[in-house]
Amino acid sequence: MQRGFGDCHVTSRAINTGHVILCCSSSMTARCQHVVAALLLTLGGVLSFPVGSEKRDPVSCGYQSCHPTKPGMLNVHLVPHTHDDVGWLKTVDQYFYGDRNDIQHAGVQYILDSVVDQLLKNPDRRFIYVETAFFYRWWKQQSASMQQTVKQLVNEGRLEFVNGGWCMSDEAASHYSAVIDQMTLGLRFLNETFGACGRPRVAWHIDPFGHAREHASLFSQMGYDGFFFGRLDYQDRDSRRSKKEQELLWRASDSLPAPMADLFTGILPNGYNPPTGFCWDQLCNDAPIRDDPDLEDYNVDDVVQRFLQAANNQAEMYKTNHIIMTMGSDFQYENANLWYKNLDKLILYVNAQQAKGGKVNVLYSTPSCYLQELHRANLTWPLKTDDFFPYADDAHNFWTGYFTSRPALKRYERISNSNLQTCNQLEVLGGAASRKGPFGEGDSQTLRKAMGVAQHHDAVSGTAKQHVTNDYARKLANGWQHCQVLVSNSLASLSGSSAPRVYCDLLNVSVCSLTESSKKFSVTVYNPLARPVTWPIRLPVYGSSYLIKDAKGNSVDSQVLPVSKATREVRRSRGHTANELVFQVQAPPLGYTTYSVSMLQGGASSAASPKRGAPTSIQNKFLQVTFDPDTGLISGLSNLETKQSIKLTQNFYWYNASDGKNSESRQPSGAYIFRPNSTVPFVISRVAKTETVQTSVVQEVRQWFAPWVSQVVRLYADSRALELEWTVGPLPVSDGLGKEVITRLDSSIKTNEMFYTDSNGREILQRRKDFRPTWQLKQSEPIAGNYYPINSRAFIKDDVDQLTVVTDRSQGGGSIQNGSLEIMLHRRLLYDDNRGVGEPLNEVSDIFPEGLVVRGRFLLSLDRPASAADIYRPLGQEEVLQPVLSFTDGDLDANARLEFSGLQAALPPAVHLLTLSQWDADSVLLRLEHQFQISESKLNSQPVTVNLQKLFSTLNVLGVSELNLSANQWKDEVRRLSWTPENEEKPYLKTFQDPSAWEVTLRPMEIRTFLVRVRADASSTEGRRRRQTVTEEVLVPQNTSFSQKSHIKADQMLP
Ligand SMILES: [Zn+2]
């Protein structure tokens, strides 16, 4: 339903968009009439988006544009397509231009040129395009007349977009927040460029290496009618083929009521390749159709005969009289004439058999046209409620290595997501002055696009070549540079101080030029969460005693600690100080606070000095950790509030990576595949050398296992979680052995062969050792075959205890022994694993020429299973959306505003503010998420209501409309094909009533997406200043090619 202005009722249904507008007050006041008039005047503007030109142009795209099929025959849907990786063996730029064809012959610009040319030659031909990161670039370079031509092709359904995100995302290492953003980015471009005909009906993940349930849930909520993919476990595939279950209904959420997260899912017959013998690309060697009967090598009869055989074989494995053939592959169609000329002939000659009683009908088609026929078949489909991990393509080939591959990139991608959310939020809160202000021009779009690229299934997955990986990281760094300007401008606008700001991106290794040299500085802490956070800060300093004051002038407890040996080793020559200043900050929701730091001179040194050895225990008011005095290892963990205690040991091990010289299989471990040589990992050291630092702010037990493995066990004074900060690398390989390093937690918890992992950072899935829920598993890899992706948390539990580990990046892990949980941290391998990347995963860099060093952390909590989510859900969000610190040198500006919150009040604990970003001149995109699953928490798994009008402190909310999850359709206009599961009633979508137009209710795991029309609050100084700017200039970033049609001046909206 739609929301509008004030206490609303329906006042008008706009004829030309069919979109309901609500208006304020109980009677049609002058103000209300004014607003309606303004709205009607601008209906071609904001309100036509995201619907686009759907109702205006005579078009026949979508399901209407499908070729007719023949009911009494086997209909073969030929789907011409290209699979264009957004970076893999070449960078995304090299792929676009066709540069470096010595690495791989691939040029996306030529593909699109050639396909458009060939589509125009025959109106029956069809093509689908998938990756908007490429299409968007190509589109920008076309002439107006070519753009018009392409629009025509799209409007007629001859060129159809499927999936449509910026890239085809990885499903094992990506976080839902970044996936939603990249889909929104791509789909918005298609919507604004092509209107409704540009909206994909089908999700298309033909290449990702295993499929996450959360992805399916997100696709459902984005309004897709169906989903197709190419890769699944070979045993699963065989079982589904024999049972004709390659097409199914995936119920992708335990919490959302069906069919909200139901997604029809089809497994393609041959990965995403054509049937053997029918590849007519310039990259292939199959014989063309030689149809001159006068020639000796005439082969039409042979081709037709082979094709009928292939079609009939395929039909035996599917339920309906329709089958799909993917006619294309990686970077094909650069010379599309080859493909289309032969496909035209294939269709002609096969269908000619119908006159002689042939029962096969071949047609040009698209995935959505194929899907429509499956829907028309009106069958019931097997229901699936688990996921498609792990993926194995043979007995010893488990693609579970990439869950961890390139851990540094995986962390950088995650922190970049956090930075992007901060950038988005501050763009909204700071107004137009954020994009153009005292520090120059900044933007969020550069980082948004870089993050879109980084979600690709060879990017965050860690399966690209090294030079491509470097390019992904460079793009993220460049995006953050653009955002830093925006963030500085925004903070200047909000605080009233234009003092220059410095960002320290290497604080995790204690490097920050400003704090290392300054005697007096301030740190501004921006918190992107919608609730207050307490956050530890560690800064490299050269003094030994400091005075710290918060925004109210109160002094804050702090501690100076010596920089650890591990940190000195990893920072190398980039930093020099001997000390770290540690204190806890408290930042307001969606806002910032400022702390001033002054070095005390002549005062007594407050630097703590480490003691040799481990204590018997460290504790704060929530947790106690005990240590084994003989080994220096953790020996137990207790929750002092709940009076729980478990035995817990933790240590580091490595698996010897298979080199492939093995009688069972020649498969080596590589970027994709994890194949250890034995089931027992080698311990790195049975004992840890330890030292301990205990202060009132933090207690640390520093453990040193080997020159390449160390850890800090850390407990902050106010924390309910134990931090394990691990540092691993450079992994020694001079012994000729590839190494895959894990840490393992062994506990007294009786896990009964089960453990639990999250799916893309959202819902939890149960994992059982040597077991798959939908087929009889023959386990052939006892370790790798029990590994699963961990995106943000994993846990083990029994009836009384739950041990949860929150991670700071995506990693792979498993529970091989009862009571145990292992997580892979780092991999260094000496052989390529023969899946295409063509390089061993052996990361070195200029700073680490002898091998990459990686640092990360786990947050451990021990709770009762019934209440564990109350701790780990918010903890997980704190780890994903971290505060951004900025530093200013010297004294604070006397008039500066030291603290600010963009919210009137913190959101309730169950509600997460997922998205707040500027959409256009006077609208923002808002996503609110219920972050608990159903029955996960007594306290928090309840519906919760938020008043949108009372959300923001400085923004007046004038109107609200609800969108689908990907923000490319109004919620009340979403129509999805409905499907019936086997042995169940067809589910009908329930609609829930919100308490009022402004109050929206979120149910467990629900994400609601709103386009919110806002105006800066004119009653505040900031508001007045911003409002003046708003009326003068357009707020949409100028460097986008997004359609400018929706711009209206904010004052047109004001009474
Ligand atoms: Zn791919």
- pLDDT tens digits for range 892-939: 888 999 999 999 999 999 999 999 999 999 999 999 999 999 999 999
Helix (H, G, I), strand (E, B) or coil at 27: coil
Contact residues for 457 (Cβ-Cβ < 8 A; gap 6+): 85, 167, 168, 169, 170, 171, 205, 207, 208, 209, 463
pLDDT of residue 893: 86
Identify the H or E element spanning 873: helix 868-880
pLDDT of residue 601: 84
833 catalytic residue (yes or no) = no
Q: Measured in angstroms, how far is the CA atom of residue 87 from the centroid of ligand 1?
A: 9
Is pLDDT of 1035 > 90?
no
Average pLDDT of the residues in 464-471: 98
Is pLDDT of 114 > 70?
yes
Per CATH, is 903-1022 categorized as 2.60.40.1360? Answer: yes
CA distance 51 to 969: 6
Q: Measured in angstroms, how far is the CA atom of residue 59 from the centroid of ligand 1?
A: 32
pLDDT of residue 614: 87
Select 409-482's CATH number: 3.40.50.450, 1.10.1040.10, 1.10.760.10, 1.20.1270.50.
1.20.1270.50
pLDDT of residue 603: 63
DSSP for 748-778, please give it: S---TTEEEEESTTSSEEEEETT-BTTB---
pLDDT of residue 150: 98
Q: Residue written as tokens 């310039």?
A: 282
pLDDT over 90 percentage in the chain: 88
Where does CATH 1.20.1270.50 sit in the chain?
409-482
Average pLDDT of the residues in 102-121: 98
Is residue 815 within 8 A of residue 903, CB to CB? The reply is: no
CA distance 495 to 492: 5
Tens digits of residue pLDDT in 310-327 = 999 999 999 999 999 999
pLDDT of residue 18: 30
Q: Would you put residue 780 in left (φ > 0), alpha (ψ -120 to 50) or beta?
A: alpha
Q: Measured in angstroms, how far is the CA atom of residue 661 from the centroid of ligand 1?
A: 28
Average pLDDT of the residues in 679-700: 96
**CA quadruple 301, 303, 305, 308: dihedral, nearest 10:** -140
Q: Measured in angstroms, how far is the CA atom of residue 458 from the centroid of ligand 1?
A: 7
Average pLDDT of the residues in 837-863: 97
The active-site residue out of 207, 233, 659, 808 is 207
Q: Measured in angstroms, how far is the CA atom of residue 205 from the centroid of ligand 1?
A: 9
Largest CA distance in the chain: 103
pLDDT of residue 1037: 29
Q: Measured in angstroms, how far is the CA atom of residue 229 from the centroid of ligand 1?
A: 12
> What residues pair up with 76 in beta bridges, in sequence order?
323, 362
pLDDT of residue 372: 98
Tens digits of residue pLDDT in 961-1006 = 999 999 999 999 999 999 999 999 999 988 889 999 899 999 999 9
pLDDT of residue 29: 35
Where does CATH 2.60.40.1180 sit in the chain?
499-608+879-902
Tens digits of residue pLDDT in 491-516 = 999 999 999 999 999 999 999 999 99
Is pLDDT of 1046 > 50?
no
Q: What do you get for the CA distance between the two ends of the chain, in Å?
A: 25
**CA quadruple 959, 960, 966, 969: dihedral, nearest 10:** -90
pLDDT over 70 percentage in the chain: 91
Q: In what order do the strands lie in the sheet with 247-251?
A: 202-205, 226-229, 262-267, 247-251, 383-384
**Domain range 611-866, CATH architecture:** Distorted Sandwich (2.70)
Confidence of residue 709 (pLDDT cuts 50, 70, 90): very high
Tens digits of residue pLDDT in 789-810 = 999 999 999 999 999 999 999 9
CA distance 165 to 163: 6
Average pLDDT of the residues in 18-26: 32
Is pLDDT of 10 > 50?
no
CA distance 1048 to 1045: 9
Q: Measured in angstroms, how far is the CA atom of residue 236 from the centroid of ligand 1?
A: 21
Q: Measured in angstroms, how far is the CA atom of residue 208 from the centroid of ligand 1?
A: 7
pLDDT of residue 1018: 59
Is pLDDT of 19 > 80?
no
CATH domain 499-608+879-902 topology: Immunoglobulin-like (2.60.40)
Question: What are 194's two structure tokens?
Answer: 């092509």
Tens digits of residue pLDDT in 401-440 = 999 999 999 999 999 999 999 999 999 999 999 999 999 9
Confidence of residue 1019 (pLDDT cuts 50, 70, 90): low
- The predicted model scores a pTM of 0.93
Give which of 439, 448, 449 is closest to 420, Cα–Cα: 448
Give which of 912, 970, 911 is closest to 942, Cα–Cα: 911
Is residue 226 within 8 A of residue 266, CB to CB? The reply is: yes
| Residue 706 neighbours by CB distance under 10 Å | 14
| Residue 549 neighbours by CB distance under 10 Å | 17
Give which of 168, 166, 136 is closest to 150, Cα–Cα: 136
Helix (H, G, I), strand (E, B) or coil at 661: coil
Give which of 73, 78, 77, 70 is closest to 359, Cα–Cα: 73
pLDDT of residue 58: 57
Tens digits of residue pLDDT in 264-308 = 999 999 999 999 999 999 999 999 999 999 999 999 999 999 999
The interaxial angle of helices 868-880 and 407-430, nearest 10 deg, is: 80
pLDDT of residue 30: 35
Tens digits of residue pLDDT in 352-400 = 999 999 999 999 999 999 999 999 999 999 999 999 999 999 999 999 9
pLDDT of residue 12: 28
Q: Measured in angstroms, how far is the CA atom of residue 326 from the centroid of ligand 1?
A: 15
CA distance 325 to 273: 8
Identify the H or E element spanning 155: helix 144-155
Q: Measured in angstroms, how far is the CA atom of residue 331 from the centroid of ligand 1?
A: 10
The residue type found at 833 is: D
CA distance 882 to 234: 40
pLDDT of residue 624: 98
